[in-house]
Amino acid sequence: MPQFRPKYISYVSEFRPEPMNGFIRSFAAFWFEEVLGNRKPYRDVVCNALALVCKRWNVECQSKDTMCFCDAIPNWGPHSDVAEPLSRVGSRIPLVLLLNAMNELILRNIERLQAPFNAEHGRAGSILQTLSEGIRLCARPLGTKSEDMLHVSSCLRCDLMPAHDIGINNKVVINRGQKSPTPYCECAEIRDSEGLPPLAVLQEPIR
């Protein structure tokens, strides 16, 4: 198993309800198409994707339904395995959370992570459309380079493949039952966040 010695760890957090077979897979596909388009508020990304998947599955969907769905996002919370190991790592290696969601939808979920994210740069990606822009904004004020970062995500297509393309060498995929990453991405693979502390060579506690 590889080990990394990063100066910072960027963690892409996902907040999702339990999967609902084919409907959820279709929603994920439409969501991905929305993300690839021109930048728009995350609420619009979610609402558009939900309207499209409902049309695909012949499910009645009105604008009030999509808004109710978005309003529920702050209550989803992280996966149950995330908070404790992330806090353990964050006490020794600074954590930076990359987001492209709206603050009104995501701030409550960040609190539920209970991890010591870097106070100044912890939401450096909250207004971003692209991962590369987020990495640049994080690395510059932190005084570090991309090769000093360990990028962690469970999303292969949206996060880890772009991270590879922009030169992020140190990457970890949290494989929660999705397809295994291709050799192209050169990712270390763990089944849940409990596998992160053994991969990161922990330094002295942050004072």
CATH number at residue 148: 3.40.50.1000
The one-letter amino acid at 70: C
Q: What is the DSSP letter of 38?
A: S
Whether pTM > 0.75 for this model: the answer is no
- Half-sphere exposure of 51 toward its Cβ, with a 13 Å CA cutoff? 12
Residue 204 lies in a domain: no
Q: Helix (H, G, I), strand (E, B), or coil: what is residue 54?
A: helix
Q: Are residues 98 and 190 in the same domain?
A: yes
Vertex 5: Cα angle to 123 and 180 (nearest 5): 75
Q: Mean pLDDT of all residues in the chain?
A: 78
> 124: buried, middle or exposed (CB in 10 Å: 19+, 13-18, 0-12)?
buried
pLDDT for 27 beyond 70: yes
Does residue 123 register a pLDDT over 70? no
| More confident call, 101 vs 33 | 33
* 46 belongs to a structural domain: yes
- In angstroms, rounded to a whole number, what is the distance separating the alpha carbons of residues 123 and 144? 17
Would you say residue 122 has pLDDT above 60?
Answer: no
Lowest mean pLDDT: which of 111-120, 126-135, 148-157, 196-205? 126-135
Q: Which domain holds residue 52?
A: 21-72
CA of 65: how far to CAs of 69, 104, 145, in Å? 6, 18, 43
Based on the fold, state whether residues 84 and 186 are members of the same structural domain. Answer: yes
Task: Provide the 10 A C-beta neighbour count for residue 196.
Answer: 22
Q: How confident is the model at residue 66 (pLDDT cuts 50, 70, 90)?
A: very high
Tell me what percent of the residues of the chain surpass a pLDDT of 70.
77
Q: What's the confidence (pLDDT) of residue 55?
A: 93
Please give the pLDDT value at position 74.
86
Q: What is the pLDDT of residue 48?
A: 95
Residue 9 pairs in a beta bridge with 95, 150
Average pLDDT over residues 78-105: 84
Tell me if 131 is assigned to some domain: yes
| Of the candidates 107, 162, 104, 155, the residue with the CA atom closest to the CA atom of residue 130 | 162
Q: Does a structural domain hold residue 120?
A: yes
Is position 155 within any domain? yes
Sign of CA dihedral 173, 176, 182, 183: positive
Query: Is 53 among the domain residues?
Result: yes
Of the pLDDT bands very low, low, confident and very high (cuts 50, 70, 90), residue 1 is low
Burial of 132 (0-12, 13-18, 19+ CB in 10 A): middle
List phi, psi (to 5°) of 173: -105, 130
**Closest by Cα among 140, 147, 148, 93 to 121:** 140
My answer on whether 140 and 82 are in the same domain is yes
